[in-house]
Structure 1
Amino acid sequence: MTQPLDPIACAQALIRCESVTPVDGGALDTLQEMLGRLGFSCTRLPFQEDGSERVDNLYAERRGPAPNVCFAGHTDVVPVGDPADWSVPPFAGEVVDGALIGRGAVDMKGAIAAWVAAVSRIPLEAGTLSLLITGDEEGPSVNGTRKVLDWLADQGITLGCCVVGEPTSGVRLGDTVKIGRRGSLNATVTVYGTQGHTAYPQHADNPVHRLAAALNDLAYEPFDQGTEHFEPTGLQVTSVDVGNPATNVIPAQATAKLNVRFNDLWDSAAIERWIQERLDRHCPRNELSMRVSGESFLCAPGPLSDALVGACTEVLGAPPELGTGGGTSDARFIKDACPVAELGLKNATAHQVDEHTRVDELYRLTDVYEAALRRLLDGI
């Protein structure tokens, strides 16, 4: 068996790659070198759709007995903003007062490093292990995980289950395992009226008034009361725009933008109908367009979530909750291929200046991942 890897050193090496979406910055080369030392066969999978940025991805596999236990993650990170706002250079991967600071430390190079370090403790003969790593999670998610999953299907490779290393922990490390995600969609509403003079409103039809009435219904009529694993569906108005430079002119149209996070009582088509009905109450002439980021899904509790709950309880002394909150993740694609659950570091500093994780928590997450692997690989 090879010498176990240090998760801090692995995380530092990854953080030092400036992999802001869609640039790889050497991150996959760095990860591939680590995995090669552990006996993994690595396949690089660059994809590019017309008009989109080329993205590099990695599928790594160490073959053994079934099932194939996969870890999914991303090496791409969001921009750092102004580096001068950081207490240390954002891609230096420095440890200061027991905290590893750097862009991606939490989301999610730290979790990748913890998983790789955990795998380095697992015997080669224990079972088939794989990693599905994309460089397109923080971006449009067009040339990443979805396409790798299609490639796996074409190759006849079946995943038994998958752990996604998103930062799911809230107050304490390991307090939440996510077994589903809410759906998310963005809608643009345009309401048409008749332009006119504000002194003669009887000759006009003010679209702003109609839109305001519709938005009141949209914002305050409840969708549902939530479900066993999901909070209630919620709609937020994110923009209202008229673009009217004059104070004495009733405009001809008004636009609003909405975001809806919906639970498993709904799909995007039903949400669209719900919005359209409320628009039609107040706005005879309207136009609705939608862009769906992902549908809601739930992976029912089972062997995968049991293994993660058991590992957290063993290592951290307390069981996690099974949750579905937060934004979208690539689990929305993976759930069509195999059971999937998410567990990672605390999310408080994700995407922030001085993003960081406590060094001791990165070691503890490594222990949790190792314990979960031993459960999933038949108690080795």
Structure 2
Amino acid sequence: MTSLTTAPSALDIDPADPVALTQALVRCPSVTPTEGGALALIAALLEREGYAVHRPVFSEPGTPDVENLYARIGSEAPVFVIAGHSDVVPVGDEAAWTRAPFGGAIGDGQLYGRGACDMKGGLASMIAAAVRYRRENPQAPGSIAFLITGDEEGPAVNGTVKLLQWAHERGERFDHCLLGEPTNPAAMSDMIKIGRRGSLTGQVTVHGKQGHVGYPHLAENPIRGIVRLLAALDATPLDAGTAHFDASNLEMTTLDVGNPASNIIPAQAKAVFNIRFNDLWTPDTLAAEIDRRLREAAGNTVRYEVTFQPTNAVAFLTQPGPFVEMVVNAVAAETGKRPALSTTGGTSDARFIKSYCPVVEYGVVGKTMHQVDECVAVADLDALTRITQRLLGTYFAAQHQA
């Protein structure tokens, strides 16, 4: 199977058409950190609609350079920000795809391709909504801005976090943000994300003394010690959850002694764990609790050390209020059902945006994200466009009346 890798021309696309725009973006092979023509296409389309567009590139030692995009139309407050990412994960085994992963083919009401639902479809629909809104309301008060990164699926070092800093240093101030991640499990009326759990990864290493299994008195088996420590971490729930968050969850992800022989007591044992935590914790307070549990379990007999990976994934919540209700009402008006307010799932770039303005996540159905034959329903692209356009109209009307 041959993938289509030639980026389309902006001259051939109406940015008010979410389906055509999704196809065009899918045809840009923008696997992290490659720009792949996606940001260039968006920039050309938004410039044509009157947006001032910037494409800053950010760098960090040990990570790839990443191109990003910031665009704005309007010069007055309030500033409504639409955020997202143009980068995608690798296609994996291309031979397993039934359609070209960068082809953007449509069949049986689905648009296929890598990034179709995560999240080029959401991005295209929100661009289409903003374009339609401004075309119909050329003198509308306030401003619309786009924050689009090429680093969400990668290290997330040279993307949204630096783009926000760059914009802030230029004097940009934001009032509210809609992030177009694929939030819906099965239907467009299912779910809005009003927060995210944090993520903390740690490693426990228990030290022993290598020796012959036939002479255990001359050795010290670290496996007994690590079993005791891991049992202590898992014995008591970290919490019972909060009003908007499930209980924090600790999962063991690896356990290794590096021992290929059956007649050797190993010298050490290692385990890695990850915790998805709610708003009762910060990375520091959670690390302190883990360390406390390990110390109590180890006593004076288990020699161990614990380390934690640096994390920028902290738990946060956008409190339900007028803005959240606007999003809910826009979804309900177009789908006939009020969506649930959720904080489930993994991390997203909302964890960076929340430090600059309230942020809510809403997008297409995410059943196939990162999978072979990733796809998005054409009807969902149209629905998201209508929902976002309705939200923009309600938002700016309310701000104008305030």
Q: Counterpart in 2 of 1:300?
A: 319
Shift of 1:371: 1.0
Q: Counterpart in 1 of 2:120?
A: 109
- Asked if residue 288 in structure 1 is aligned to residue 306 in structure 2, the reply is yes
Q: How does 1:1-380 map to 2 (within 5 A)?
A: 5-122=16-133, 123-126=137-140, 127-283=142-298, 284-291=302-309, 292-378=311-397
Q: CA contact under 8 A between 1:189 and 1:287: conserved in structure 2?
A: yes
Distance in structure 2 (CA, Å) of the matches to 1:239 and 1:324: 26
Which structure 2 residue ranges, 5 or more long, are not aligned? 1-13
TM-score between the two structures when normalised by the length of structure 1: 0.97
Number of equivalent positions = 378
Shift of 1:251: 1.0
Distance in structure 2 (CA, Å) of the matches to 1:317 and 1:64: 35
Distance in structure 1 (CA, Å) of the matches to 2:303 and 2:284: 21
Which residue identity lines up with residue 285 of structure 1 in the other structure? Answer: R
Distance in structure 2 (CA, Å) of the matches to 1:224 and 1:150: 34
Shift of 1:174: 3.1
Q: CA contact under 8 A between 1:8 and 1:359: conserved in structure 2?
A: yes
Distance in structure 1 (CA, Å) of the matches to 2:350 and 2:127: 19
Q: Structure 1 296/276 Cα, relative in aligned 2: closer, same or farther at 3 Å?
A: same
Q: Counterpart in 1 of 2:8?
A: none
Which structure 1 residue ranges, 5 or more long, are not aligned? none
Distance in structure 1 (CA, Å) of the matches to 2:376 and 2:185: 13
Distance in structure 2 (CA, Å) of the matches to 1:103 and 1:219: 38
Q: Deviations over 1:202-226 (max 9, x none)?
A: 3322111110121122234201111
Shift of 1:268: 0.8
Q: Secondary structure at the match of 1:188?
A: strand
Pick which of 279-288 and 74-83 moved more: 279-288
Q: Kindly report structure 1 stretches of 4+ aligned residues shifted beyond 4 Å.
A: none
Q: CA contact under 8 A between 1:207 and 1:252: conserved in structure 2?
A: yes
Q: Secondary structure at the match of 2:281?
A: coil
Q: CA contact under 8 A between 1:106 and 1:355: conserved in structure 2?
A: yes
Pick which of 10-19 and 278-287 moved more: 278-287
Shift of 1:64: 4.5
Q: CA contact under 8 A between 1:210 and 1:282: conserved in structure 2?
A: no
Distance in structure 1 (CA, Å) of the matches to 2:167 and 2:258: 48
**What is the identity percentage for the equivalent residue pairs of Structure 1 and Structure 2?**
47
Q: CA contact under 8 A between 1:174 and 1:345: conserved in structure 2?
A: no
Q: CA contact under 8 A between 2:117 and 2:364: conserved in structure 1?
A: yes
Which residue identity lines up with residue 350 of structure 1 in the other structure? Answer: M
Q: CA contact under 8 A between 2:15 and 2:127: conserved in structure 1?
A: no
Which residue identity lines up with residue 377 of structure 2 in the other structure? Answer: R
